[in-house]
């Protein structure tokens, strides 16, 4: 059964007359009758019965006509939405975002995007970059903003490089303890390298927190010093010094937008990418 059959059955139900229905549909009576018989055989139900005045729906025919009307409404709604989609960006985005980017930078980007594209549903999952990277590889995400350099066969766009900074309170004593923080494995290796190259002994026992904001807040309150990415320092009022490795290279943290090639051209994904790019310029 297709939409032409929908029209045939609805016309028969409306006219209650095979001759009149055939005229409306520009068909012969015989071809219309044959098609009706075929549909009744296909459905295993008698849809119309004949009487002296013409034809009328059976109880089963009434069910079929009612369902066809519902299906036609849904098809019409679908066509309207498709027509609208040609001019309005819609759809959904499943986005994975590194927890620190999500905390410090994403809210402004999302607010701008949602205001400009209200018909796009955005689902954000924040977390550890390595875990989100695995989800992206598995196809569980439409895109990801990850901190760290991960191999990726699709679209990979550098969003920013930010300095790792040594932060201390305004009044810092020479024996101020170091405050470590939770980070991904790659960054932890780089931090250990920086300590070795700068001949800084790791304190025992080491103070440790699992949240970047908590780490910065403790330094602000004079409880120690830390090595943190610049992303978290907008409101910090202590001492800030950009960190360097022994060869003079700056200690930096890279953030990338990563998208599957097949999805990068989708209108809602392109719109989000453009919003993200504009936010970097601003």
For the domain covering 3-85, report its CATH number. Answer: 1.10.10.10
Using a cut of 0.85, tell me whether the model's pTM lies above it.
Answer: no
What pLDDT is recorded for position 85? Answer: 67
* 93-157+254-281 maps to CATH 3.40.50.720: no
- CATH topology of 3-85 equal to that of 93-157+254-281? no
From first to last of its 282 residues, the chain has per-residue pLDDT tens of: 889 999 999 999 999 999 999 998 989 999 999 999 999 999 999 999 988 888 999 999 999 999 999 999 999 888 877 776 667 788 899 999 999 899 999 999 999 999 999 989 999 999 989 999 999 999 999 999 999 889 999 999 999 999 999 999 998 888 889 999 888 888 888 999 999 998 888 777 678 898 899 999 999 999 999 999 999 999 999 999 999 999 999 999 999 999 999 999 998 999 999 999 888 766
Q: Which CATH class is domain 162-252?
A: alpha beta
CB 271 within 8 A of CB 88: no
pLDDT at 194: 94
Q: Specify the pLDDT at position 282.
A: 65
Sequence spans of domains, the chain: 3-85, 93-157+254-281, 162-252
Tokens (6 digits) for 271: 């719109």
């Amino acid at each position: 059964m297709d939409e032409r059959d929908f029209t045939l059955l609805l016309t028969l139900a409306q006219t209650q007359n095979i001759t009149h229905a055939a005229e409306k549909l520009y068909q012969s009576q015989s071809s219309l009758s044959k098609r009706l018989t075929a549909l009744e055989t296909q459905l295993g139900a008698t849809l119309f019965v004949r009487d002296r005045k013409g034809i009328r729906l059976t109880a089963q025919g009434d069910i079929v006509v009612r369902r066809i009307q519902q299906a036609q409404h849904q098809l019409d709604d679908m066509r309207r939405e498709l027509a609208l989609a040609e001019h309005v960006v819609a759809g959904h985005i499943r986005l994975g975002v590194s927890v620190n980017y999500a905390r410090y930078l994403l809210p402004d980007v999302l607010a701008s995007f949602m205001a400009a594209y209200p018909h796009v549903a955005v689902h954000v999952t924040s977390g550890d970059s390595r875990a989100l990277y695995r989800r992206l590889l598995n196809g569980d995400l439409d895109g990801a903003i990850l901190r760290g350099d991960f191999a990726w066969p699709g679209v990979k766009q550098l969003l920013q490089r930010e300095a790792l900074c040594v932060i201390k309170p305004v009044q810092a004593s020479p024996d101020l303890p170091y405050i470590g923080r939770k980070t991904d494995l790659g960054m932890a290796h780089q931090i250990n390298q920086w300590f070795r190259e700068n001949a800084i002994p790791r304190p025992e026992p080491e103070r440790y927190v699992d949240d970047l904001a908590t780490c910065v807040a403790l330094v602000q309150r004079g409880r120690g010093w830390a090595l943190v990415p610049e992303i978290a320092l907008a409101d910090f009022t202590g001492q800030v010094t950009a960190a360097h490795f022994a060869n003079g290279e700056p200690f930096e943290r890279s953030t990338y937008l990563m998208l599957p090639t097949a999805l990068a051209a989708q209108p809602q994904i392109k719109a989000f990418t453009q919003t993200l790019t504009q936010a970097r310029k601003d």
